[in-house]
A and B are shown apart, each in its own frame.
Chain A
Amino acid sequence: MKYLIILLLAFCFVLPVAKGQMPHDGIYMNKKLACGALIYGNSSWTNYWENQLFRENQNIGRLTTESMTAMLAYGITKKINVIAVVPYVRTNASQGNLLGQKGFQDASIWLKAKAYSKHGLSLHGVVGFSTPISNYVLDFMPMSIGLGAKSLITRGIITYDLPKHLYVNGSIAYQMRSHVKADRDAYLSGGKMYQTNQVAVPDAFDAALRIGYLKKDNQLELFAETFSCTKGDDIRRNDMPFMTNDMTMTTVGVYGKYQPKHLGVNARLSYVVDGQNVGQSLGLSLGLLYIINL
């Protein structure tokens, strides 16, 4: 943990950081203004929680997930924004012989609206829909690039402006997730054999608290997020994960954006501090942003 804080601080000092327009923040593009982003992400773990057992796996080594994400945010009005996201993902294990997977993952579209704003307090609603845009393999977790489910995410955000350009942001979301079709025609879940290729990916909640500094288009933020499935089973002893797993994780991190003019950059560093049925990921993303006047 101490290491983490040092890392986070180092990151803050080294990189110029500032603001973004994301499905979870309270920031909007002005009307007819669009922001395009190209973001490189690198997330990796060497240890994971097999159910609650924290372990390493010498036949995986470090599992790295790299992504290149194209994102476009557009101001329909200054209180209603639409955001579209398309990621390309690839995985790689540093040891063992598991073949890395790659492909376009889940594209998503988000509608964000400011519902209330007075005396520095504002409330926002976000609805997002996400769907796989390629027929990527699900049956090969943890090498698979995603869970394959269509999702409908409903999020509420509350933000409050503090003095000196500081703010707090709290959000909570429910992720409804569809069944998926596995390649296999039977699977074990929770000790029961299902003789079908239909797999129920459990719904999930997430919630986050963010504290940050926002001035014009520049932003620096510390965050803590928690993610939890509503149900699901656990990875069995020495087995591989599966789409039905009840994944939970708590992530902390820092986000920043710096956008002096049309061109800007953003960066995000995150670390999973606790979890179940997930890897202890250390994630870094770097993005190039560009504002277009339409």
Chain B
Amino acid sequence: MSETGSPKGQEFEHMLGQSDKRVAQFDDRPKGLVEKLQHMLHGNPTLVPVIVLVAAIVVFGLVAGDRFFSPFNLSLILQQVSIIGILAAAQSLIVLTAGIDLSVAAIMVLMSVIAGNLAVYMGVPPVLALAVAFAGGTGAGLMNGFLVTKVKLPPFITTLGTWSIFYALNLWLSGAQSIRSQDIDKNAPLLKFWGEGFAFFGAKVTYGSLLMIAVFLGLWYMLNKTAWGRHVYAVGDDKEAAELAGIQADRVLLSVYGMAGLVCAIAAWAAIGRVGSISPQSFYEGNLQSITAVVVGGISLFGGRGSILGALFGALIVGVFQSGLRLANVDVLWQVFAIGWLIIIAVAIDQWIRKVSK
């Protein structure tokens, strides 16, 4: 080992002159069908839920016939998934940052109780009551975010705790009593706005169903067309890398939790219209159902991958399965059984697709 020889590299590198010059070319060797599929799905993670949704609609259409395919039934599915759908949109935001939120439905029910108490019992103008609920939902989300970013607790534990806290507050504020539908109609009909709708070729389209779609499109825009959205993906993908690249990861996380809380409050308003009354005991399983929709929709629980629209398709898949199995006169327990398998298969497919980058 003495002086460096020629300016053009080390001795052992001289052979490189004759070596293959193609450094960065793409692997164009013919791929098998399965491998092609794997690559395609890796590039378009939302394709899986879309295929499953279409397949499920076709299969249940064949099994249950016209009763399934009627415009009325299809619009009913949309109504039935609208609340869990909006919660799944909030859940998607958290899951994209590699977190999980067990408190989304608890925030939603708490905010519907707050809005209902203010508007129905305390004579607060409904618009103001809703504004308080939106602020409260955002605040509840920020509380989760604060615990995750500043106190450095894992999201799972944080939201497991706040789930109970919000649920207890909700029982306390409501006295475990529902607010009756007639009372809402009399004092604050605005709260039930999203339950109204219009007829459309025999379908009953509620404003709440459209609201769900609007929430998804709005969040899709934010995630894909704004810098904030790119930062959310970057933080979820690799937090340290994002920080080194100059992203203030904790601020992004805090904004994500706050936004998720706001979306939960929007779901609270929609839920009053959908259910008709305000029940503190409703949607107790909503947290887990929203996670189901997100997972079935192909959003990776490890963060940074998947499209929020996947969660919409995931919610619809669950709705289609439940409706189809019900119309085929299958016992409810088998609906639960089928959803369980959907979750497991969805995560298995996600793992398989992910291997492509290895």
Q: Are chains A and B native binding partners rather than an unrelated pairing?
A: no
Residues of B within 8 A of A (CB): none
Residues of A within 8 A of B (CB): none
